[in-house]
Amino acid sequence: MTQTETWTVGRLLTWTTDYLRKKGSESARLDAEVLLAHARQCQRIELYTAFDQEPDESVKAAFREMVVRRAEGTPVAYLVGHKEFYSMDFRVNPDCLIPRPETEHLVVAAIDAAKALSKVPAFASDPKPRTLAVADICTGSGCVAVAIAKHIPNALVFASDLSEPALAVATHNASQHSLSDRIQFFSGDLLDSIPADKSVAKFDIIVSNPPYISQSEYEQLSKSVREFEPKSALLSGVTGLEISERLIAQANERIAAGGFMIIETSPMLAKQLAEVFDQHPGWTIQPTIKDLQGHARIVIARRVTT
């Protein structure tokens, strides 16, 4: 982009789309639109009614800086500071993973589990469903915890993460969506971070999007993921199952009878993860949920009631 040419919104989008595509972006047009809308402080749709307008120099300067950083690999969500997840807007930064569409299936599965647990018999004297205790482990930005709290009104959510900076982001997001009164955050190792004597002894639903990338997979991740998103939230270990295995072992003592455990994993590990549950008595495997690409993504197990 040279300073002497007239750079209208339309021309900026066209040039930037071509530039980012050459730099390897698989969503170059979307990237360009999101960045320019952020620089103009407007909605993306407003760009289409401003194609012939030339942004002022401060907007173009801010846009150029973001485009350069995007070309270097910085994810768009980190550049603009937020990301949509389950039709809700969440603050994100390099302290936490960027919410992904695949993880929305984790929320859907939790909602379905809550419906199964909240059914009130027709003859019940109290027609209201009981309160459900839900744990969100490795909460990161808190997107799963917040979405669950919003869409399961009778849920109290207990969310944990090892990263204090990530928990700060999650706490903000809970407050932003006016759900702080129904979500408690804990710092520490998986379920062990939530003390049974001070919060809840047994959970009705445990959900988690834990680190599940193996060492060999990690080395093959795209630059924008490997070099910019937190390694501790991605890499599980040599096999990719290490964190999930420890979580399931902890859940044996913390899941209520009839409760559900719902874990996101790599499609390459879904079968092995189901086999981990089989190694522990008292679980029955539910149908695995596939993502929009048809890949096995969400493994669900239910605690046997008898």
pLDDT-based confidence at residue 4 (cuts at 50, 70, 90): low
CA distances from 271 to 31, 41, 266, 274, 290 (A): 35, 45, 10, 5, 12
pLDDT tens for 72-83 read: 999 999 999 999
- Dist. CA 280–CA 252, nearest whole Å: 8
Count CB neighbours of 213 within 10 A: 21
pLDDT tens for 143-173 read: 999 999 999 999 999 999 999 999 999 999 9
Report the pLDDT value the prediction gives residue 277, as an integer from 0 to 100: 95
Give Cβ neighbours of residue 26 (< 8 Å, ≥ 6 apart): none
- Contact status, residue 83 vs residue 92, Cβ threshold 8 Å: yes
- Start-to-end CA span in the chain (Å): 68
- Dist. CA 163–CA 161, nearest whole Å: 5
* Residue 69: burial class (beta carbons within 10 Å; 0-12, 13-18, 19+): middle
**Mean pLDDT of the 44-57 span:** 93
Whether 1 has a pLDDT exceeding 70, the answer reads: no
- pTM across the whole model: 0.90
